[in-house]
Structure 1
Amino acid sequence: MNLVLSETYSRYKDDILNILKNFKNDGVVVGHGNRNVVKFFVVDNLKLNFKSFKQHNIINRHVYKYYRKSKSRRSYEYAQMLIDKGFFTPKPIAYIENHDFIGVTSSYYVSEQLEDVFTLGDVLYDHSFTDREEIIKAYTQLIFQLHENGIIFIDNASGNFLIKKIDGKYRFFLVDLNRMSFYDEISISKRLQNFERLTNDLEIIKLISAEYAKLSGQTSDFCYNKIVDFAKKKAFKLKVKRILKFYKFFLKN
């Protein structure tokens, strides 16, 4: 086992190890993840969020041990990096990797469990949500600042932004951090492509386009047309993928 623990939380080492022993049967499940299992556990009034990553196939198990950082390690390190750059994410506490002679057998990312939050998805899908337009603009400003820092948050989906109102302002916490790309400079096309999986709602895309245009010096029409085009292409790819998956299942049976 490889356990890397933040110095701030070093006193919880034994608690974390005990939780891992009983992870399958204890804890409170968070969300409806099909690939990964997320649970929180309470230790001395502190809520610890454990994300157990789905078991990899034999090739990826080998890759994540010898050639590439595991998803849990990337989550932990990217969280620290985001905080260092002034962004927000649940505080990183630890990551754990279990190995055998082939590769990684299981891995976990541990962070703080946030309370009294809602997701960006709650805002996007509820047209009567309080301060909806303000929140969407604030989200766009966040993505722009990530881009300005050379960061593409690949899993830019509405469920990966937890929002908490603090002192009258909405604060965004990024989660599901293991997939990010880093650049010295990001072209405007790649920046706008980063919105492709967020939504196909044209009203929302208009709001995002207007705000991003204001921040980037582009025109609203340019941003809008680019995002819509990328979103349509992404939706088509996902549709084709689902069809192929269906036929693959049908042919097997």
Structure 2
Amino acid sequence: MKLIFDENFSQYEEEIIGILKKFKNDGKLIGNGSRNVIKFFDVNGTVLNFKSFKQHNIINRHVYKFYRKSKARRSFEYAHMLIDKNFHTPKPVAYVENHDLIGLTSSYYISEQLENSFTLTDVFADISFPDRERIIKEYTSMMFRLHNNGIQFIDNSSNNFLIKKENDNYSIYLVDLNRMNFYDNIEIDKRLKNFARLTDNKEIIKIIAEEYGSLSGTSSEFCFNKIFQAVNKLLIKRRIKKVLKFYKYFIKI
């Protein structure tokens, strides 16, 4: 087992090893665990979030051992990078990799559980949510700063942003960090296409387009059209994928 700690959390080594041994049966599950399994555990009064990544096929197991960093390691390293650049993400605690002769067998990313927070999905879903437009603009400003830092957050979906109100300010925390691209400069088209996974709600896209346009010196109409085109393209791609999946199932029958 490879266990790498953040220097501020190395005192939890014994407890974390114990939790990993009983991870399957203990802990409080977040979500349905259909893909990655996320649970949280209380460790001496500190609540830690354990993310167990889905098992890979035999080829990817080999790739993630010898040629590419595991998702757990990338999450850990990207969390430190984001914090260094003054972005918010739950504090990284450790990552774990288990290997056999063939490759990676399992991996975990461990971070502090962010208490008293809500998701961007909650904000989108409730038109009467307090400070709704302000929060959407704060999110857009954060994405603009990411892009200015050459960071493309690929899993830019509303569930991957946790929001915590601190005094009269809203802090937006990124989670699900393992997929990012890095550039010296991100052109405006690529920036706006980065919103494709977020929502197909025109009212929300309009707020984002107006704010991003103001920050970038680009017209809000241009931003809206580019984002909405990217959203529609992704929706069509998903529909085709569903049809093909159904067709394959029908052929098997």
Within the alignment, does 1:158 sit opposite 2:161 as a pair?
Answer: no
Please report how far the alpha carbon of residue 33 of structure 1 lies from its aligned counterpart in structure 2 after TM superposition: 3.8
Please report how far the alpha carbon of residue 246 of structure 1 lies from its aligned counterpart in structure 2 after TM superposition: 1.7
Alignment partners' CA distance in 1, 2:252 and 2:42: 44
Match of 2:30 in 1: 30
Give the aligned residue type for 1:87. F
RMSD: 0.7
Equivalences for 1:69-80 in 2 at 5 Å?
A: 69-80=69-80
Alignment partners' CA distance in 1, 2:198 and 2:34: 19
Please report how far the alpha carbon of residue 250 of structure 1 lies from its aligned counterpart in structure 2 after TM superposition: 2.5
Residues 33 and 127 from structure 1, CA distance in 2 versus in 1: closer, same or farther, beyond 3 angstroms?
Answer: farther
Match of 1:236 in 2: 236
Please report how far the alpha carbon of residue 252 of structure 1 lies from its aligned counterpart in structure 2 after TM superposition: 2.6
Match of 1:89 in 2: 89
Give the length in aligned residue pairs: 253
Match of 1:196 in 2: 196
SS at match of 1:7: coil
Identify unmatched segments of 5+ residues in structure 1. none
Alignment partners' CA distance in 1, 2:121 and 2:9: 31
Match of 2:131 in 1: 131
Percent identity of paired positions between Structure 1 and Structure 2: 63
Match of 1:175 in 2: 175
Please report how far the alpha carbon of residue 34 of structure 1 lies from its aligned counterpart in structure 2 after TM superposition: 2.0
Match of 1:184 in 2: 184
Alignment partners' CA distance in 2, 1:45 and 1:167: 24
Alignment partners' CA distance in 1, 2:54 and 2:137: 34
Please report how far the alpha carbon of residue 32 of structure 1 lies from its aligned counterpart in structure 2 after TM superposition: 2.6
Please report how far the alpha carbon of residue 167 of structure 1 lies from its aligned counterpart in structure 2 after TM superposition: 1.4
Query: Could you give the per-residue CA deviations for residues 113-145 of structure 1, whole angstroms, max 9, x where no partner exists?
Result: 011000000000111111100000000000000
Alignment partners' CA distance in 2, 1:87 and 1:183: 17
Alignment partners' CA distance in 1, 2:33 and 2:234: 22
Alignment partners' CA distance in 2, 1:65 and 1:42: 30
Structure 1: 4+ residue segments shifted above 3 A: none
Give the aligned residue type for 2:151. I
Equivalences for 1:203-242 in 2 at 5 Å?
A: 203-242=203-242
Identify unmatched segments of 5+ residues in structure 2. none
Alignment partners' CA distance in 1, 2:55 and 2:195: 29
SS at match of 1:242: helix
SS at match of 1:195: coil
Alignment partners' CA distance in 1, 2:193 and 2:33: 25
Give the aligned residue type for 1:77. E
Alignment partners' CA distance in 1, 2:246 and 2:73: 33
Give the aligned residue type for 1:197. R
SS at match of 1:102: coil
Query: Could you give the per-residue CA deviations for residues 171-217 of structure 1, whole angstroms, max 9, x where no partner exists?
Result: 00100000000000000000000000100000000000000000000
Equivalences for 1:39-78 in 2 at 5 Å?
A: 39-78=39-78
Please report how far the alpha carbon of residue 247 of structure 1 lies from its aligned counterpart in structure 2 after TM superposition: 1.7
SS at match of 2:106: strand
